[in-house]
Every structure is written in structure tokens, then in C-alpha cells.
Structure 1
Amino acid sequence: MHWNELLPTILLSMVPTVLALGALASARQPRKRAWRTAKIATSSGLLLAVVLLGLGVFQLLPAVSGAWLTTPLHLIMLLLANFIGFVVIRYSATYLQGEPRQRRFVVLAQTVFAAVSVAVLSNHLVVFLVAWLTIGLSMHQLLMFYPDRPRAALAAHKKFLFARGAELCALAAFLLLYLHHDSARISVITGAYAAPGVALSIGEQAAACLLALAALIKCAQLPLHGWLIQVVEAPTPVSAALHGGVINLGGYLLLLFYPLLSASTPAQALILVVAGVSSVLAALVMMTRISIKVRLAWSTSAQMGLMLVEIALGLVELALLHLIAHSCYKAYAFLSSGEAVQQDLQRRQAPGSHPTLSQWLSAGGISAAMVVALGVLVRSTTDYTAFDVLSPWVLLTLALTVLLAERRRQGAPDSGARFIGLAALVMLAYFTLKSLFAALLPAFEHTTSLWADLWVSLLFVVLFAGYCLQRYGLHLGWAQKLNLYCYAGFYLDEWVTRNTLRLWPHALPSRIQAKQLHSDSREGSL
């Protein structure tokens, strides 16, 4: 192997290696030095990820380098994972001061992000699965950072079982793909489906459905969502790492095997039904929650569902943009959740009024006109087929309608002009970023089914109607009953929890005093 071929492999290998060495070194160092080592390791990983992405954008890296994949998708995910790790470690160094098990946290956190780096770069099915398993086991230990909290223990128990179920689905899918292609190289497997119109065998269809099921479980879609809501009992940095990074690996799995998924109608239908319904229900339940962290957790379930729907519709560039934006926003939201409480209180104290029917109609008309104008502009300037899908435009129209109607109700004389400027910026950003990611990713030939597009559009209309009812229609008796079911989360988690504990019992801890926990803890225990 020539030096110019060996250098990219060395650089790629250094990212997870630096984080893994940082975890090993931190386990043997005093508390302050362990944090310093972790900061150096995450900073080095972030710097290497930036350099590698720059090389990839300028096409200075081969698509496959040794055991690693180096397409823009993988390098972007590598940069995102290391950025989240960089932020979480720095925040945690201050947040966890005084905690008795700081060294345990810093070792496990670096292990998680080292494993994530391996997973997003790996070109081998076994390496990918081992890295995914390492992420799950390390996160389980982080979620049990406060082992005396019964809710934390219950959430970790459910997540442990569901994660193993997702990994078994992925393992079965990988075995089917390996037997069919006689290769464990991911690039070889996905390359076999690059041509449009590939006919899948029964085994390949089963593998696609198993991958879809694994992603649905990993992304905490209903009804297997309860653990995601209850893990807010863990420290805030753990929630930021989970919601800002680890939870997205289900979506990454589908992006990685999208050529196979795009050829499997049953797998797409499974995602559109389960993730589509989950995103709507989770968004409606989120509106009934008061706790900021619980609202953010329900929001994550809804956003993951929407991201999976985008992948099933063939909008891979929009899904990747959604994944990156959600990761950064959700990590920031959890790490600044203390300020969010004050902001929410100020919002609730603001004078409220209901938009009139004329305001709703005018807002809908203006929003539709602006979206149609943007659509005409897009169709005249680009021939990219992903912009032909109807449902994203429906969602954009409904979102702008709510924004305009609620701004105009405030009665500010310039609220309309401000909205038009803001809406124009939103649509420009949507078009620009989507086009940018479409240029970075390989072009996928995919025709979205009309029925799938109409189904997702209907879900967006239902979400809009549910939002209006919860905000402005709770004086109606039937709306109040519906809101009670939303407040109860439609009793789905209670049903899942009861059956989970029946099939796999788990003794939950009784709450103990914090001083007792401090005295019983050992700094060096891992």
C-alpha cells in the first residue's frame, strides 16, 4: 500500500484510537487529571474529524480506505459525534463537580464516543455490530449513574432489553445479507443495490424489514418509547449525549443501508406507518408536559419519527440535515435546560389571545402563496426529483401558517412584515441547506409512492389539527377527553412496562439517602 493510500487510513484510525486511549488513561488517573485527559482526547478527535471532512469535501480521500468508509455521509457523522463529545465532556467537567463517581463517567463517556466513531466509519458488518453493542452497554452504565433512583433503574432495564432486541434484528439482517452477497463489506453490499429497479429476493426483503425494525426500536418509536422519557433521571450530560448523539444511530443505520431500503416497499411501509404515527402522537403528548426535560424527551421521539419518515420517502439529504440540526439543538437544549425553565415561565406570563378565523385564513393563504412561489422557483432552477415530494411542502405551509397566525394575534403593527421576512429566510435556508446536502451525498434514484406521500401529508394535517385543539380548543368537551389521553401518553408505556417486567422481572432499588450513596461509592470502581 502506497503512503498516500496509507495516510488516510492512519488518520481515520486515530480518531477512535485517541478517544479509546483517553478512556484508558482516565481510568488510572486522579480526578482532575482524568478530566484534563478527556478534554485533550475529545479536542484531538474533533480536530482530526474536521481535517478529514475537509479532505473528503475536496475529494482527497478514496471512498473506501482500508477498513473505513470515507464518503461525506460518514465524515459528517464522524464530525458530529466528536463535536457532541467535545461539548459534553467540557460541560460535564463543571456540572459533575462534587459527584463521587466522576472518573467512572469520564471513562464511559469517552468509550461511548470512541465506539460511535468506529460505528460511523466501519466498512465491516461485524465491526459495526460490535461497536453498536459497545455503545449500548456503555450508555447503560451511564444511565445507571444514580443507581438508587427507581425510575432510572427501570428506564435502564427497559432500554437494555429493547437495545438487545434491536441488535438481534440487526444481527439477523447482517447474516441474511452476508449469506446473499458472500461478503461482510458494507460497501460491497450497498453497492449491489446502486442501480435503480433492483429486484429483491425474500431474504433481502426480510433483511430490509429487520433493519427498519432495528432503527425503529433504537429511535424509541411508540410503543417502545418509555425508557427515553424516563432516562431524564440520569445526569443532564448523559441526556445530552443520548438525545444529541446516540439516539440518531437508528437513522444513520437506515442512511447507511438506504440503497437496500429504497428497493424494499414493505420496509418503507413499516417505517411510514410506525414512525409516522409515532411522530404525531409523541408531538401531541409533548404539548401536555410541564417538565422541560420530559418535553425535550417526547420531542426527541417525535423528531426521530419524522427523520425516519423522511428516509422512507427518499429524502436522504433532508434526513441528514434533520439529524445534524436535531443533534446540535437537542444537546444545547438539555445543557441549557436551567435557562429554559426561566424562558418558559416568561412565555407563559405573556398576555395570550386566540387568533381569529380571519387571521387563520389569511395566514394560511399567505403561507400557501409563499410556498407555492418557492416551489415554482425550485422547479424552474433545478431538476432534482426530491423536491417533487409533496409532504415536505405541506409541512412547511402548515408551520408557516401557525407562525403567522400566532404572530398576528399579538397585534404588533409590524408583525406581518417581520413574519414575511422571517418566513422568507426560513424557506431560503431550507432550500439552500437541502441543496447543499444533496450535492454532498450521492444521487439516489428513488420515486416516492403517491400513496406514501399522501399518507405523510395526512399525518401532518392531523398534527396541525391536534395542535390547534390543544392550544385553542380545550373548552370543547371531546377535546378535553382527547387531551387526557394525550396527557396519559395513551397508556402505551404502562402496557409495555407491565408486560416487560412480567416477561423479564427486575428488582428496582429503593431510594436511599444521598450521603449513604456518597459513602458507599468507590471512586475507582467501574
Structure 2
Amino acid sequence: MDLTLGGHYVAALYGLGFLLCLVARSYEWAIAGLTSRLALFVSLVVPLGSGLLTATLPPVLPTMMGLLITLLGWVIIDYASRYLEGDPGQRRFIRAILFTLGLVALLVKSDNLLVMMLAWSVSSLSLHFLLTHYRERKAARIVAHKKFLVSRMADVCLITALFLVYQALGSFSLPVLNQQLGQMTILSPELNIAALLFAVAAILKTAQLPLHGWLIQVMEAPTPVSALLHAGVVNMGGFVMISLAALLNLAPLAQSVLVIVGSTTALLAGWVMMTRISIKVRLAWSTCAQMGFMLMEIGLGLYELALLHLIAHSVYKAYHFLSAGEVVAQTIHQDYFPPAVRIHGVFGSVLCSAVVVLGVPMLWQQWLVNLSLPLSASVILILGCAPLFWRATNAVRSGLVTGVLRSGVVLHLYLLWHSTFAHIAPSTGPEQVGLLGFVCVVFILLYLGQVGIRCYPHYRVVKRLYPWAYNGFYLDETFTRFTFKVWPAKLTLEQAQTQVNRNHSTAGESV
């Protein structure tokens, strides 16, 4: 039995559920729920069964991604069945989400580059119906229109890249491509261009600046759609880039583009996120920043870190979007951070974090000789763990002890997952000193911005930066004006009448 059959079974189950919902006039939620449970069961059982029959282990990466997708699909469909109760568009929602899940399952399980790219492109089309679930809302139509334009730009890049790959290597099979690329030391011009186009497509589909506005503004869609988008679909850009690691390792230009665009997006979106109050908007900016971090890690060749990032981000975002309605109730039981208290040791925290991050692996190397961290991963961990040493009081000793314990736990968890994912993801790519220096500068700026916005909001520099950060540095407005001049969105008569009624209602309230 083919080891990839589990993925085809899962995609076929979602497709069967979609077809049944097309002809069924009732019991759609029962069909969707049964489909999601069967898909989860198959993703767990079929890889084991096929591995026993062939006496070989199934590919761990596709198996893990398939399990993640089916788990998210089960949870989101179960949540949506209650969330959309009484909604007139339930039937359309069920069909679209089953179709989308089937395409994503096919993408993560396929070993054919052409099939992966087709599933990736068509999934964006099916997602369009989910984003426009409330068709009468003008904002939803505009956001979906912007998403449609960006996705079609990415599709042009993918089609051109596929043509160049087939012309140069004569195959779309990933095992064959990886075998041929493994024998190369320098890429041909066609493959260099193809790698760059794949990177640009991933940048477009993961909502990197300045083409990020659609991801931030999809809050008009139902919460289950936001959970599916932020936890599943938008992460597929990272998975595709990890699958193309053999190509990217030989393409310095594509790596540089991923690192520069990804880290810049992470920096700016991270600053913007800290200025927002709305929980869903804050989560959306967080997704934009996290996708930037993921692409940056891939550009640096840290594929095991990017894979860990992808899975952790998917679970984290699914939980937080589906529990967003409980945030207000949770906040009531929490004390707000006293605005008059300054956090001490924000710069000494970096030194303390460096001691822990560099010292712990050195201690473990006495027993685990092969344990090591790439320099780029160490830099990321040092600045990432530094806020754990922040203190809100003058109790230096207690703050230091707490910081050491927190950072130690985080570091050990990372070392554990790093060792695990190193056997699943492609091997670490070549390290480029120039890109690493650029990333260090970006992380320092991100850390300084976090310190300024949170600890010194009344400083002149922070006051000047804050309005720009709050408005997303006005990047989306520029892109929106340009795109709507090239291809404006058209409202239907019903939508136009709805907008007129809203304007009249607003005018009446003001009078």
C-alpha cells in the first residue's frame, strides 16, 4: 500500500462529505461532524496500517501535518455547529469548509509539486466563499476582493515557477526533484528564478507587508472562519517552503528575500500588535508577525524551528480565536498592570537571557555531545527570553530567580522539540552571515520597540512612533488605493441598498 494513501483517503472523505452536503437538504451538520471525525480517525490509523504492511515507517512530516489539519477541522466544525445555529447561510458555510479542508489535506499529503500548487491555489478560491459568508456586508466583500487579487498574483508566480521547474528537471515528483537537486552545487538561472517565484508566492499568501491588509480585516467573517484561516490555511505557505528546502538551500537570492521581507514584517507587525486593544485584531496582527518569523526562519535554513513554529502557531491561534468571546469575562478577574510602575532591568535582561541560553546547552553537552544550536537560533532565543527577566518591582533577587526558572523551562522545552523536529524536518541549510546580522538588527529593534511602548509610553520618540504603529504605518491604505484603481470592487444592487440604508440610519442617529 502506498504510504501517502492516508492523505488521499482524508481528502476523499472531505470530498465525499462535500458532495453529500450538496444533495442533502437536511442533516448537513451531522454529515460535516461525521466527516471530520472519520478524517481524524483515518489520519491516525491509516499511516500505522500502511507502515505495518510495507514494513517501513510512513513519512512523519506529512503524517503530522495531516493529523494537525484533521484535528483543527474537527474542533472548528464542532464549534461552528453551535456558533452558526440559526444562521441562514449555514449550508453554504458547511460546503465551503469541507471543500477547503479537503484541499489542505491533499496539499500536505501529496508528494507531487503540481498537485500541491493546484490544491494551494484552489483552496484560496474556496476560502473566498467563507470570507464572504455575510454577503450583505460591504466590508466583507471589499476584504475578500483584496484577498482575491493578492492570491491571483501569487498564482501567476506559482504557474511560472512550475513551468521553469519542469523545463529544468522534467518532473513534478518531490522525491525525484530532491534527488536531482541533491546532486547540484549551483542552480541554473531557470531554477533560481523558480525558487524566487516560490518565495514571492509564499510572501503573498502569508500576508506579508505591505500586502497584509486582507488578513487584518477579515474580522467580518464568522469566528470559525478566522480560526481556520489563521490556524490552518495561512500556514500552508510555510509548509510549502519547508517542502522545497532542497531548492531553497541552493538559492541565496530567494533566501535573502524570505529573510528580509519576513523579518521586516515581523518587526513592524509586532510593533503594531502592541498598540491594539481589540482581541481579534490583535490576534490578526500577531498572525502577520508570526508568518514573518516563520518565513525568516526558513530563509535562514532553520527548517526544524520553522516546523515547530508552524504547529505551535496553528494550535495557539485556533484556541485563542475560538475562545475570544471569553476574554472579557477573564479580564474582569485579572488586575490591570499598574501604569505608574516601570519595569526594571530591561537591558540587563538581555545579558541574563544570554547567559542562560548559551550556558544551558554547554552544560548538556557534557552528556549529549551532539547537542548544538545554530547561531541564528541562539540569537532569536536570547532576545525572545529576555522579557522573562523583566521585573515590575525593585526585588532584584526574586525577579532574577523567576526569570532564570522561566527561561530555563522555555529553553529546555525548545531543546526537546528542536531535537525531535530535527529528525522530521529537512536538515538545516547553510548559514549566511549577512542575513544573520540583518536578523539581529531586526530583533534588537523589535525588543527596543516592545520596551518603549510598554514601559516608556510618554517618551517623545515613542509618542511619535505610536500613531504610525497604531495605523499600521499606513501601508495597507497605499496598497488599497492602488489595487482599487486597477481593479475596483463592485457592489451588487442589494449591497448598495444596504449601504444606503446604513448611511440613512447613521444620519438619523446623528440628528
For the criterion TM > 0.5, the same-fold answer is: yes
Specify the alignment match of 2:477 in structure 1. 494
**1:35 counterpart = 2:23:** no
> Which aligned pairs between 1:56-205 and structure 2 lie closer than 5 A?
71-195=59-183, 198-205=185-192
**CA displacement 1:311-335 (0-9 Å, x = unmatched):** 1111101100000000010011100
RMSD (Å), alpha carbons: 2.5
> Match of 2:172, SS?
coil
Specify the alignment match of 1:66 in structure 2. none
Which residue among 273, 295, 319 is the counterpart of 1:332? 319
Which residue among 386, 390, 396 is the counterpart of 1:401? 386
Amino acid at match of 1:492: L
Specify the alignment match of 2:422 in structure 1. 438
- Give 1:209 shift: 0.2
**1:24 counterpart = 2:19:** yes
Specify the alignment match of 2:509 in structure 1. none
Specify the alignment match of 2:453 in structure 1. 470
- Give 1:139 shift: 0.3
Which residue among 248, 253, 277 is the counterpart of 2:264? 277
**CA displacement 1:165-222 (0-9 Å, x = unmatched):** 1111111111100011111222211222235x62101101000000000000011000
**1:372 counterpart = 2:366:** no
- Give 1:339 shift: 1.3
- In structure 2, relative to structure 1, the CA distance for the partners of 1:503 and 1:512 (3 Å cut) is same
- Give 1:62 shift: 5.9
Specify the alignment match of 1:520 in structure 2. none
- Give 1:425 shift: 1.3
Q: Which moved more, 1:315-324 or 1:395-404?
A: 395-404
Amino acid at match of 1:164: R
- Give 1:479 shift: 1.6
- Give 1:123 shift: 2.4
TM-score (norm 2): 0.91
Shift >4 Å, 4+ stretches: 52-63, 344-348, 410-416
Preserved contact between residue 42 and residue 85 of structure 1 (Cα < 8 Å):
yes
Which residue among 206, 225, 230 is the counterpart of 1:219? 206
TM-score (norm 1): 0.89
Give the Cα separation in 2 of the matches to 1:117 and 1:377: 42
**CA displacement 1:306-362 (0-9 Å, x = unmatched):** 0011111111011000000000100111000011233356556343454455x3355
**1:47 counterpart = 2:30:** no
> Match of 2:447, SS?
helix
- In structure 2, relative to structure 1, the CA distance for the partners of 1:511 and 1:212 (3 Å cut) is farther
- Give 1:512 shift: 3.1
Preserved contact between residue 240 and residue 335 of structure 1 (Cα < 8 Å):
yes
**CA displacement 1:205-250 (0-9 Å, x = unmatched):** 0000000000000110000000000101100000000000000111
> Which aligned pairs between 1:210-359 and structure 2 lie closer than 5 A?
210-344=197-331, 349-355=336-342, 357=344, 359=345
**CA displacement 1:33-56 (0-9 Å, x = unmatched):** 111111111111111112245568
- Give 1:363 shift: 3.2
Give the Cα separation in 1 of the matches to 2:127 and 2:321: 17
Give the Cα separation in 2 of the matches to 1:100 and 1:154: 21
- Give 1:89 shift: 0.4
Give the Cα separation in 2 of the matches to 1:184 and 1:9: 16
Aligned pairs, how many? 497
**CA displacement 1:6-61 (0-9 Å, x = unmatched):** 5x454442111111101111222244x11111111111111111224556898957
> Match of 2:276, SS?
coil
**1:506 counterpart = 2:489:** yes
Equivalent pairs: percent with the same residue? 37
- In structure 2, relative to structure 1, the CA distance for the partners of 1:349 and 1:10 (3 Å cut) is closer
Specify the alignment match of 1:523 in structure 2. none
Give the Cα separation in 2 of the matches to 1:346 and 1:288: 22
Amino acid at match of 2:477: E
Q: Which moved more, 1:42-51 or 1:361-370?
A: 361-370
Give the Cα separation in 1 of the matches to 2:364 and 2:9: 42
Give the Cα separation in 1 of the matches to 2:180 and 2:20: 42
